[in-house]
Structure 1
């Protein structure tokens, strides 16, 4: 298979210096890329800003903003068999980016934020015969919100993990498929979890 994987955070600039982002390290996405390559698959990795070296044999596409990530994924997806969306895409951007650097005035300021494009949901609408696996990082009503995302993003399966996964070398995940049931659970080092997820994809999504 040829697999598209998104990883890491995106950044949305408020001005030419400051930006909104999150603490995603990209470890899970990069681990999945390594596992997929080790299993004999081709990988196109679209990554936000991280400090991890991509695995050997991986096509790497470095992006920064959410729009850049979507544009790159939209180009690559038609020639892939499926996508694993692990990227922690920044959900909001400033409505009007300020030129230069916003100066301190000693007063409170108000920023008007609007939602960014939902990269995985957009790919889901374009999937055709391709498969889509999403990731949901939830802190409240976790399974309910994961199932909601499963359908809103037109995923074939979604991987639920918690906030504790951010920046950690370990993870505990639950795989939820279209039945809305948990069909697999994996825990341990992210490299081990990645191996298990690639194996699950090979058994349940490849060729679907």
Structure 2
């Protein structure tokens, strides 16, 4: 691992505490974001706090020893970031079960891309109440990636959404964030083949 990455993690921890998490906390406490668009029903989005670490591409562990460590729950990691109490040597790049074979350089780059765009996205979503609508290039697309159902975003970022589930495993009509990527929401990687994008015409908090 590059020695420069340790310093980068320190910078990320500071940015998360000072800027990125406060912007997301505003989303988490604002209620439901409703997107109105052409050709499909309204999209209602909640922003649970436990989704934040994954959206910025980071996980937190019980100790520094990689052979003994256990992943700390994302809700606890969220609180530690907010308190400014993160040991960056226990912080690592997120990976799902299906990509554990991905090398550390790829995982680092994925996290770096998320960190680059996260603050802008959270601020843009947070400030919707100050504007009449959203960016003109904002869209909703059907996802080509399982388990993501739809993506929303612009030409420079995409937020993957899945249905919220209740404690009994029942699918609810609201959506929650599953992924954040630094690429066009209409890209072939995000948008399901053979489908078309629906333009977002209005967005508001309810």
Q: TM-score range by the shorter chain?
A: under 0.3
TM-score (norm 2): 0.26
Higher RCO by CA contacts (8 Å cutoff, separation 6 or greater): 2
TM-score (norm 1): 0.26
